[in-house]
């Protein structure tokens, strides 16, 4: 029902209520947002261009050119540089070899420019092809990919990464999947984020924990600290536009990297599908955005020292860290 209702919303309505999730139109908007986040809050970013269902080679070439231009423009920036890429944007629906070639072209350039890359995961019909791409190029290039806790197959996918020394963004996933292949309850998906975080750490992979859920973040943090692992073993990722400043600040003060997903678009119509999915997945984003706006206005009037919302640092547990 939620999807049905959101899909009835006119595009201008979706844009108005969900635009906080997008940096703006054009490469410069993405770079400016990433620069501001780092300079003002020491929050890192991963920059992505919104665009889906690319079905012809002309569109693919245009997207690849935009990413190459983005990489060139990032050359002179001093903030931590990170980009995310979708296989569909690189041509996987047209030809896997074309997608492979485009991804490698971008990876070669990012290595030269010291830019980190994550290969995004889309819906379950692309999981095999995305992991195949990752495993083919990971031995040559240092980059990461994504796994989704909602899918039943994810445990096996983690085991399939053995020996790759992977960096994995662990998230619920925003694509609705059939109940025959995926969990349907959010509570189950959230538990799996924590379980799979521990499993990835146990197999010496780095984990990017991507969730806004406070309990998930706390329990994922325990997975790291009880093992006595360094701060580089994990980072915590959030979406642009979701008000989680307090826990982000505490994680940064604790020494962990906090990174926001910072998408830009070339034209707003390319961002509407993304924004509709966010509204379907989290209809409270309108309410949260309003609270965030009011909070920023009222902060000078209500500012006071608040009690930490993260638990004290966990001491390593010998049975885990040994």
Span 33-66, pLDDT tens digits: 999 999 999 999 999 998 767 889 999 999 999 9
Q: How many domains does the chain have?
A: 1
Q: Is residue 86 part of a domain?
A: yes
Contact 206, 229 (CB under 8 A): no
Q: Is 168 in a helix, a strand, or coil?
A: strand
Among 292, 294, 271, smallest CA distance to 18 is for 271
Q: Is residue 9 part of a domain?
A: no
Which residue out of 48, 120, 157, 213 is catalytically annotated? 120
Residue 316: which domain range? 21-321
Q: Is residue 6 part of a domain?
A: no
Tokens of 83: 């980009």
The CA distance from 186 to 292, in Å, is 24
Residues in CB range of 152: below 8 A, 6 or more apart? 181, 182, 183
Q: Is residue 203 part of a domain?
A: yes
Contact 143, 112 (CB under 8 A): no
The CA distance from 275 to 252, in Å, is 28
The CA distance from 190 to 108, in Å, is 35
Among 300, 275, 302, smallest CA distance to 289 is for 275
Tokens of 232: 């580089």
Residue written as token pair 């379950």: 124
**Over residues 266-291, mean pLDDT:** 65
Q: Is residue 4 part of a domain?
A: no
pLDDT tier at 298, thresholds 50, 70, 90: low
The CA distance from 49 to 88, in Å, is 12
Predicted pLDDT of residue 1: 41
Q: What DSSP character marks residue 166?
A: -
Query: Over pLDDT 90: what percentage of the chain?
Result: 71
- Active site includes 169? yes
pLDDT tier at 282, thresholds 50, 70, 90: low
Tokens of 122: 């889309």
Question: Of all helices (H) and strands (E), which one includes residue 169?
Answer: strand 167-171
pLDDT tier at 250, thresholds 50, 70, 90: very high
Greatest alpha-carbon span in the chain: 58
**Over residues 191-199, mean pLDDT:** 98
pTM value is: 0.87
Which residue out of 138, 150, 167, 169 is catalytically annotated? 169
Q: How far is CA 216 from CA 42, 222, 223, 239, in A?
A: 22, 10, 11, 15
CATH of the domain at 32: 3.20.20.220
Q: Is residue 238 part of a domain?
A: yes
Q: Is residue 297 part of a domain?
A: yes
- H-state helical runs in 233-310: 245-253, 272-281, 285-302
Q: Is residue 3 part of a domain?
A: no
pLDDT tier at 254, thresholds 50, 70, 90: very high
């Amino acid at each position: 029902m939620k999807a049905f209702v959101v899909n009835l919303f006119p595009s201008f309505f979706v844009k108005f209520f969900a635009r906080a999730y997008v940096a703006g139109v054009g490469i410069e908007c993405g770079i400016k947002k990433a620069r501001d986040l780092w300079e003002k809050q020491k929050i890192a970013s991963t920059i992505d261009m919104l665009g889906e269902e690319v079905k012809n080679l002309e569109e693919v070439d245009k997207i690849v050119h935009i990413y190459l231009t983005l990489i060139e423009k990032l050359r002179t920036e001093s903030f931590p540089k990170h980009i995310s890429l979708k296989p569909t944007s690189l041509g996987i629906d047209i030809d896997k070899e074309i997608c492979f070639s485009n991804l490698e072209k971008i990876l070669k350039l990012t290595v030269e420019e010291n830019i980190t890359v994550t290969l995004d995961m889309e819906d379950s019909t692309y999981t095999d092809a995305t992991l195949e791409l990752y495993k083919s190029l990971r031995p040559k290039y240092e980059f990461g990919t994504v796994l989704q806790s909602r899918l039943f197959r994810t445990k096996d996918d983690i085991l399939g990464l053995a020996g790759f020394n992977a960096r994995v963004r662990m998230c619920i996933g925003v694509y609705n999947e059939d109940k025959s292949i995926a969990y349907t309850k959010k509570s189950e998906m959230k538990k799996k984020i924590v379980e799979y975080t521990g499993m990835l750490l146990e197999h010496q992979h780095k984990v990017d924990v991507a969730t806004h859920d406070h309990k998930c973040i706390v329990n994922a943090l325990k997975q790291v600290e009880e093992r006595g692992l360094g701060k580089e073993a994990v980072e915590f990722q959030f979406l642009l536009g979701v008000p989680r400043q307090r826990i982000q600040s505490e994680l940064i003060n604790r020494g962990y990297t906090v990174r926001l997903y910072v998408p830009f678009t070339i034209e707003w119509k390319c961002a509407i599908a993304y924004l509709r999915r966010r509204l379907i997945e989290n209809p409270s984003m309108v309410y949260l955005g309003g609270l965030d706006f009011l909070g920023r206005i009222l902060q000078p009037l209500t500012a006071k020292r608040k009690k930490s919302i993260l638990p004290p640092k966990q001491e390593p547990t010998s049975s885990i860290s040994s």
